[in-house]
Structures are given as structure tokens and as C-alpha cells.
Amino acid sequence: METVDDILLKLNSSKFRSSFHLNKKDIDYINKKGIDTIRNHCADFVRQRLAPAVIPNDGRQTPMRGHPVFVAQHACACCCRGCFEKWYGVPRDVQLSGKQQEKAVELLMAWIEREFSESKPRNVI
């Protein structure tokens, strides 16, 4: 069973997936709303936009920017059921279980938290 670190490493080896990063607006939004609110948004987006067995606009339901979670969804191949199936082997036409949704949120938040922490200035000795 792959860990979140294993998955993030594999995603980072993809030229497309590794091209996504949080921008200043995303960082400012996280600072303003707080990481707990972002986690709640993430769970809502996964439940509404990724978990259903049938998504009428699948493949186009996740914007490329406008919210830190949207960026994370593309970076982590959780943007549509086609990408989710390709990367994680979960069939498109099956509703995601609560556990699968939790794992997706855990992965997305790990990516966001890494990007967020990398954006903070470091003290130089």
C-alpha cells in the first residue's frame, strides 16, 4: 500500500503534475482563511466534484486555478474521475467510499501543506 509520501513522489515525477504550484493569491487565501477551513473546502470539493459515480461534466469540473484545492486536485490527479482512475485504479462509474474520500482529502491536504510551508521565507544563519 502506497503512502502519501510515495504518491507525492510519483506525482512529482510527472512533468504535468509537477508543474502545479500555489501562487501568491493561493497562499494569501490560506493565510486569511486558515488551514482548517481549506481542509473543509477540500472535503466538500471531493464529495461534490470527485466522489459521485456519475459526474455530468467529468473532465471539466475542476478549474485550473481560483482556489488552492483546485490547484492541488490537478497536481494530485484528483481533478476528475478519468485522472483518478488512471493514477489510482478506481473505476469511474463507482461512487467513492467515505474512506476513499478521506484518503483523497489527506493527499490533497498533504500537497497543499507542503506547498504552503515551502512558500514561507527561511531564516538564514
Average model confidence (pLDDT) across the chain: 93
Averaged pLDDT, 7-19: 96
pLDDT, average across residues 96-120 = 94
Burial readout 57-90 (b: 16 or more C-beta within 10 A, e: otherwise): ebeebbeeeebbbbbbbbbbbbbbbebbeebbee
Q: What is the pLDDT of residue 120?
A: 67
pLDDT band at 121 (very low <50, low <70, confident <90, very high): low
Residue 45: partners with Cβ closer than 8 Å, 6 or more residues away:
62, 67, 69, 70, 73
**Residue reference for cell 471531493:** 46
Q: Find how far residue 35's CA is from the centre of its chain.
A: 14
Q: What pTM, to 2 d.p., does this model score?
A: 0.91
Residue 124 has pLDDT above 60, yes or no: no
Sketch the domain layout of the chain as residue ranges.
4-118
Q: How many whole angstroms separate alpha carbon 1 and alpha carbon 114?
A: 22
